[in-house]
Amino acid sequence: MKIRKSILAGTLAIVLASPLVTNLDKNEAQASTSLPTSNEYQNEKLANELKSLLDELNVNELATGSLNTYYKRTIKISGLKAM
């Protein structure tokens, strides 16, 4: 019985020490750097969404926050007429 265990342990040690088994971890996968990361993708997506929202809004109307109501109304009307 002891001889079988020693033979089994010896063959196991030889197999684990062989170059085939020791080189298995060297074949690592490398990430591609040409594709955008998730942060870059999210930033680009948010920037495009903000640009589209800004295009839909009347910028002059947003700038009338501190003006009189008469001037606000005039700017809103002229913005609607321009569309």
Its domain, for residue 76, covers: 58-83
48 falls within a domain = no
Number of domains in the chain: 1
CA distance 21 to 16: 6
Q: What is the pLDDT of residues 8-53, one digit of tens each?
A: 788 777 766 666 655 555 556 666 667 677 788 888 999 998 888 7
Q: Using an 8 Å Cβ cutoff, are 76 and 61 in contact?
A: yes
71 falls within a domain = yes
Q: Residue 23's pLDDT is what? A: 56
**Which residue's entry shows tokens 């495009």?**
48
80 falls within a domain = yes
For residues 55-78, average pLDDT: 76
Phi, psi for residue 22 in degrees, rounded to 5 = -75, -20
21 falls within a domain = no
Is it the case that residue 68 has pLDDT exceeding 60?
yes
- Which amino acid, residue 20? L
